[in-house]
Structure 1
C-alpha cells in the first residue's frame, strides 16, 4: 500500500515539480517563480477487500497534503526539466518505463509502468500546465498482493499565489 502511494505521489510530484523542456512541438511551458499552493483530491481509491476505515484513512492521508505551500526561486524554475525528471523514475532510480511522454504546449499526457520494491504499477498523468497554474490527474493501477487490481486516481492543482513569503524555505530541486 505504501509503495503504491509513493508511486502515485511521485507522479504528483513530477506533475507539479516542473513544466520545463518538452518532447513535443508545443514548446516549453515554464512556471513562474514564487510561492505555489498545491491542493490534492483523492478522486478514486479501489482496492479489493480493503475495509472502509482504511479507505477513509488513505483519503485523509492523501488530502492531508492539500494546502501545501512551496517556494520556487527563479534559478530553480530555470533548471526545471520535467522530461528528464520523468526519465529518472521513483527515487531517481530509473524504475519507470514511459510509453507515452507528451509534455508541452500547456499539457501533460504521460503513461508508463513503474516498479518499486517488487511491485509494478501502471501510471498515467494528464492535465494542463501554465505559468501560474497546473491541474493534473494521476491514475495508478496495479495488482494487489492479496489478489485483484487496485486503482487510485488523484487530482492535483497547484496555483501561483505570489512572491515567496519572507523567511520561507525554498523547495529543493
Structure 2
C-alpha cells in the first residue's frame, strides 16, 4: 500500500509547498510571503476488498499531514516556478511525472498527467484555485495497486496565509 501512497504524496507535496503564483491575471498568481498553514482532507479512498481498518489507517495517515506550518520568505516566493516544480516533481523520490495538461493561470490550477514511482504508474489530476493568501487544490489519483486492484484517492489540500512567519515554522528550502 505504501508504494501507491508515494505517488499521491507527490501531489500533496506540490500543493503544500506551493504552486508558484504571480499577480498577472494571465499567468500564475504570486503567493504572499509569510506563514502558510496547510490542511489535508481525504475526500475519497476506494480500493475494492481493502479492510475498513486499513482505509481508516490511510485516512489517518493522509490527514495527519494537516496543520503543517511553513514559512516562505519574499525571496523564496519570488523564485517559485510551478513549471519547474511540475517538471521535476517525483524525480527526487525515484519517480517521474509526465504532464499532459499544465494550465496554471488566472488564479486557477488544472493539471493532469501520469506519475511513476516505485514501479507503479498512476494517473494524477490537480484542480483548484490559487490566490495570494489561499490555495485550494483537489488531487485525484487513480491506478492499480500491486495486487492488480483499482484504486482511487481524492484529497483536498487547502493552504492559507496566516500572517508573518511564526517561530518554529518550517522554512521552505
Unaligned regions of 5+ residues in structure 2, if any? none
1:151 maps to which residue? 152
Distance in 1, Cα, partners of 2:103 & 2:52: 36
Distance in 1, Cα, partners of 2:7 & 2:95: 13
Distance in 1, Cα, partners of 2:82 & 2:110: 12
Q: By how many angstroms is 1:131 displaced? A: 0.3
Q: By how many angstroms is 1:20 displaced? A: 2.5
2:31 maps to which residue? 31
TM norm structure 2: 0.91
How many residue pairs get matched?
A: 170
Note the aligned Cα RMSD (angstroms).
1.7
TM norm structure 1: 0.91
Q: Deviations over 1:109-152 (max 9, x none)?
A: 00000111110000000000000000000000011221221000
Distance in 1, Cα, partners of 2:83 & 2:118: 24
CA contact (8 A) 2:14 2:89 kept: no
Distance in 1, Cα, partners of 2:168 & 2:95: 35
Unaligned regions of 5+ residues in structure 1, if any? none
Secondary structure at 1:124's aligned position in 2? strand
1:63 maps to which residue? 63
Distance in 2, Cα, partners of 1:137 & 1:166: 29
Secondary structure at 2:165's aligned position in 1? coil
Distance in 1, Cα, partners of 2:113 & 2:145: 18
Give the 3 Å change call, closer, same or farther, for CA 166–145 of structure 1 in structure 2: closer
Distance in 2, Cα, partners of 1:120 & 1:50: 20
Q: Which contiguous aligned blocks of 4+ residues in structure 1 show a shift greater than 4 angstroms? A: none
Q: By how many angstroms is 1:16 displaced? A: 3.2
CA contact (8 A) 2:69 2:169 kept: no
Give the 3 Å change call, closer, same or farther, for CA 154–167 of structure 1 in structure 2: closer
2:6 maps to which residue? 6
Secondary structure at 1:31's aligned position in 2? coil
